[in-house]
Amino acid sequence: MKSIADIKAIRDKMQARIVNRDNSDAELETRIVVGMATCGIAAGARPVFNEFVDLVAAKGMHNVKVTRTGCLGMCKLEPIVEIFVPGEEKVTYVKVDPDKAKEIFTRHIVGGQVVSEYLIGEQ
Amino acid sequence: MREIALNILDIAENSVKAKATLVEITVTAENNVLTVTITDNGVGMSKDFLERVTDPFTTTRTTRKVGMGIPLFKDAAEMTGGSFGIESEPGRGTRVTAKFVLDSIDRAPLGDIADTAVTLLAPGIDFVWVYTVDKRSFTFDTREIKAELGDIPIDSPEIISFLRNLLKENIESINGGITI
């Protein structure tokens, strides 16, 4: 069974990477932001958040962060995910589920192409 | 909500918004009662707001004047024959307690506590989870994790994935083969 002591190995691996980073990395960070108010949680935001976390971790993308935010004011379109890529316009995806999260990750975060069929204007 | 764990996530998000730095969550199943407490050291609520907080039209948010989190949690507990309580003091924090009758046909499943716990991980706030089933107990304290991690952020995707697996294994062990 895993224990807190096992975390030391991961820490050592990640620390070696951080030493090699320079300050410009923070400005190049992509953020995946999942709405996590009551409306988002009830609509399925938690598995969407965790799907993105696992995808980013599996791919080892150190410049991508997955975070939460509150109500975005469009409860019927939850779960809502906003993608912030440095130097680009914010992209808002709506009614996201774990399968759509996989597609958004592959096509947008990795591939750099917006997944237009899940955009707010298409729903 | 499909799971009680989602109610817990929702209430804990209120603690985050209340600028808490420490949130203690206990989940205890024994003697046919599931007791959930969420205690934070956030800004707390005034007496007037506390009296209205179970009303769905009471909220602090500005996007829409509807606040369903507390009313949904209260109803989820009371519909099983259990109870719900909330105490708060400005400047000191808030404690929410919900008791569910375990064998009630109207009780939602507890759901995924591991997924819920890792969703809340963040650098500026600590969580202590105490999960107990019939006197078997597991404690998950993010202060201990952060002490091990040093300058590695606790909300790094690799750390979240590791901690989710750690929690799942320990919770399954505590459950002893039963689903709550």
Q: Which one is predicted more confidently, B164 or A70?
A: B164
pLDDT in tens, B63-116: 666 668 899 999 999 999 999 999 999 999 999 999 999 999 999 999 999 999
Asked if A16 reaches chain B (Cβ–Cβ under 8 Å), the answer is no
* Band of pLDDT at residue A19, cut at 50, 70 and 90: low
Q: Cα–Cα distances in Å, from A116 out to A107, A109, B150, B153?
A: 10, 13, 40, 32
The candidate with the shortest Cα–Cα distance to B96, out of B9, B31, B1, is B9
Contact present, A65 and A74 (Cβ < 8 Å): no
Instruction: Examine the pLDDT at A8 and tell me if it is beyond 90.
Output: no
Instruction: Examine the pLDDT at A122 and tell me if it is beyond 90.
Output: no
Q: Where are the domains of chain A?
A: 28-122
A3 Rama sector, left if φ>0, alpha if ψ -120 to 50, beta otherwise: beta
Centroid of chain to Cα A87: 17
**Total domains present in chain B:** 1
Give the pLDDT confidence score for residue B79 in this predicted structure.
97
Does residue B180 belong to any structural domain of this protein? no
Burial class from Cβ neighbours inside 10 Å (0-12, 13-18, 19+) for residue A116 reads exposed
Q: What is the mean pLDDT of residues A16-35?
A: 72
Does residue B70 belong to any structural domain of this protein? yes
Asked if B151 reaches chain A (Cβ–Cβ under 8 Å), the answer is yes
Give the closest of B1, B112, B162 to A10, CB-based: B162
Q: Do B165 and A49 touch (CB under 8 A)?
A: no
Q: How far apart are CA B118 and CA A76, in angstroms?
A: 25
Does residue B152 belong to any structural domain of this protein? yes
Q: Do B166 and A3 touch (CB under 8 A)?
A: yes
* Band of pLDDT at residue A85, cut at 50, 70 and 90: very high
pLDDT in tens, B7-32: 999 999 999 999 999 999 999 999 99
Q: H helices within B18-139, ranges in order? A: 47-52, 69-78, 113-119
Q: Do B160 and A15 touch (CB under 8 A)?
A: no
pLDDT in tens, B149-171: 998 999 999 999 999 999 999 99
Centroid of chain to Cα B79: 19
Give the pLDDT confidence score for residue B50 in this predicted structure.
87
The answer regarding whether domain A28-122 maps to CATH 3.90.79.10 reads: no
Q: What is the CATH number of the domain that holds B94?
A: 3.30.565.10
Give the pLDDT confidence score for residue A26 in this predicted structure.
59
Does residue B162 belong to any structural domain of this protein? yes
- Stretch (H or E) spanning B40: strand B33-40
Instruction: Examine the pLDDT at A25 and tell me if it is beyond 80.
Output: no
Instruction: Examine the pLDDT at B53 and tell me if it is beyond 90.
Output: no
Instruction: Examine the pLDDT at A23 and tell me if it is beyond 60.
Output: no
Q: Which two tokens stand for residue B56?
A: 């769905």
**Which residues between 117 and 146 in chain B have a beta carbon less than 8 angstroms from any beta carbon of chain A?**
118-119, 144-145
Phi, psi (degrees; rounded to nearest 5) at A34: -110, 130
Question: What residues in B contact A50, CB-CB < 8 Å?
Answer: 115, 118-119, 160, 164
Domain extent at residue B127: 4-175
**Which residues between 77 and 116 in chain A have a beta carbon less than 8 angstroms from any beta carbon of chain B?**
none
Give the pLDDT confidence score for residue A27 in this predicted structure.
65
Q: How far apart are CA A3 and CA B148, in angstroms?
A: 12
Does residue B98 belong to any structural domain of this protein? yes
Instruction: Please give the sequence-ordered ranges of beta strands (E in DSSP) within B41-160, or none if there are none.
Output: 83-89, 93-101, 126-133, 136-141
Instruction: Examine the pLDDT at A112 and tell me if it is beyond 60.
Output: yes
Contact present, B94 and B53 (Cβ < 8 Å): no
Give the pLDDT confidence score for residue A102 in this predicted structure.
98
